[in-house]
Amino acid sequence: MSSAELAELSDKLMLSTVVLYIVAMVAYAADLGFRRRPAAAETGADAEVKTKARTEAKVLVGAGGAGAAADAQATAEPAAEATADAEEDEPTGNRIEWARLAVLLNVLGWGAHLGVLVTRAAAAGRWPWANMYEFLTAIAFAAVTAFLIVMWRFRARFLGAFVMLAAVVALGIANIWLYNSVGPVVPALNSYWIAIHVSAAIVATGAFTVAGASTVLYMLKSRQEARGKADEGGWARIPAADALDRMAFRVTTFAFPIWTAAIIMGAIWADEAWGRYWGWDPKEIWSFVTWIGYAAYLHARATAGWKGRRAAILSLVAFAALLFNFFGVNYMFSGLHSYA
């Protein structure tokens, strides 16, 4: 295929990706709204509650016989399923498997999204993140990939609607306001460092996006818990605020070293391209500000024992700096990175 045909195919795959992500987002939302069992019952936190309750029951069998075990089991099972919906089971033939539909559409959209990047790279003959359109497209791909991994690792399907919303918004902005036709790049970007430095920044930003979604959801869930409404409606299907807080921390812990590596490799590339490691370029400054924000968040949790709302505020401040680094710096300031 010619470059023009590959570029056209990339654009068509982009349309397919957005449509699949939108329908997946709706399916994830329907899963939250209509699923009989809560998402909290699918998380490691509730699994630990069940395991602990069963262990206590076994201990009581040895200590007090069958009667004590029966009492313990009667107490343990409702505790593990306290947030289950009161809805009756629908006949299997009449129930839509929203969860399976959402995941299927999500994976199909992810495959189309990968096709967007691959065909764009083939059409341009270079790595497909040399301008704002390509970079944002790649970040959205990294965020969806990070979510799929988190969903598989922690059974965090409840994040699907929120991550899909972020991906759809990002791709919408990329296509409506940032689109660039396939073309050559400035000489500074014709370097193997684009495959190292920019790739690391994309992976870290995608993971930070998932952590940000978890943190926002934590803030909302904790507010519902404080108001005594955490078990109402769709909120009952979202894990406890503490579980969301831990998940955001874990994902941030994964992303932070990658962001650190991206800054270091960017400095090395800057020395090769411009003859200095650090020049206080606006992009460099805000990348460092973002690093400080996440470092403060991790430091506060590790040394001062910050958890919950205070830590979440720090995380959201760092995420806001990350977003400003991408959108604000590129349009409000001029610098050596303005070619993006």
The pLDDT tens digits of the residues spanning 56-79 come to: 444 444 444 444 444 444 444 444
Q: Pick the range with the lowest mean pLDDT from 241-250, 284-293, 321-330.
A: 321-330
pLDDT in tens, 131-165: 889 999 999 999 999 999 999 998 899 999 999 99
Same domain, 212 and 252: yes
- What is the predicted pLDDT for the residue at 39? 44
pLDDT in tens, 230-278: 777 778 888 999 999 999 999 999 999 999 999 999 999 988 888 888 8
238 inside domain: yes
For the chain, the 3-state helix, strand and coil shares in percent, each to the nearest 5, are 80, 0, 20
Question: Which of the two residues, 214 and 71, has the higher pLDDT score?
Answer: 214
Q: Are 197 and 266 in contact (CB under 8 A)?
A: yes
pLDDT, the chain, mean: 83
Same domain, 270 and 186: yes
Same domain, 146 and 15: yes
Same domain, 122 and 44: no
Same domain, 183 and 51: no
Residue tagged 């992009």 (tokens): 283
DSSP of 177-213, one letter per residue? TS---S----GGG-SGGGGTHHHHHHHHHHHHHHHHH
Q: What 8-state DSSP symbol labels residue 88?
A: P
Which amino acid makes up residue 261? Answer: A
The dihedral built from the CA positions of residue 207, 209, 214 and 219, taken in this order, carries a sign that is positive
Rounded to the nearest 10°, the torsion over CA 321, 322, 323, 329 is 80
- What is the predicted pLDDT for the residue at 337? 67
Residue tagged 């969806």 (tokens): 144
Same domain, 72 and 127: no
Same domain, 193 and 137: yes
Same domain, 98 and 135: yes
Same domain, 255 and 280: yes
87 inside domain: no
Number of domains present in the structure of the chain: 2
Same domain, 73 and 97: no
Angle formed by the axes of helices 241-274 and 282-303, to 10°?
Answer: 140
171 inside domain: yes
235 inside domain: yes
Last residue of a domain, one of 50, 80, 110: 80
339 inside domain: no
The dihedral built from the CA positions of residue 316, 319, 321 and 326, taken in this order, carries a sign that is negative
248 inside domain: yes
Which amino acid makes up residue 300? Answer: A
Q: Which domain holds residue 174?
A: 3-28+92-332
276 inside domain: yes
DSSP of 92-141, one letter per residue? GGG---HHHHHHHHHHHHHHHHHHHHHHHHHHHTS-S-SSHHHHHHHHHH
Same domain, 96 and 213: yes
The whole-angstrom distance between residue 336's C-alpha and the CA centroid of its chain comes to 30
Contacts 24+ apart (CB under 8 A), 177-181: 178/131, 178/132, 178/133, 178/136, 179/133, 180/131, 180/132, 180/133, 180/134, 181/7
153 inside domain: yes
Same domain, 302 and 324: yes
Q: Are 186 and 131 in contact (CB under 8 A)?
A: no
Q: Comparing C-alpha atoms, which of 184, 335, 216, 322 is closest to residue 263?
A: 322
Q: Comparing C-alpha atoms, which of 250, 21, 40 is closest to residue 150?
A: 250
Over range 198-227, report the average pLDDT.
94
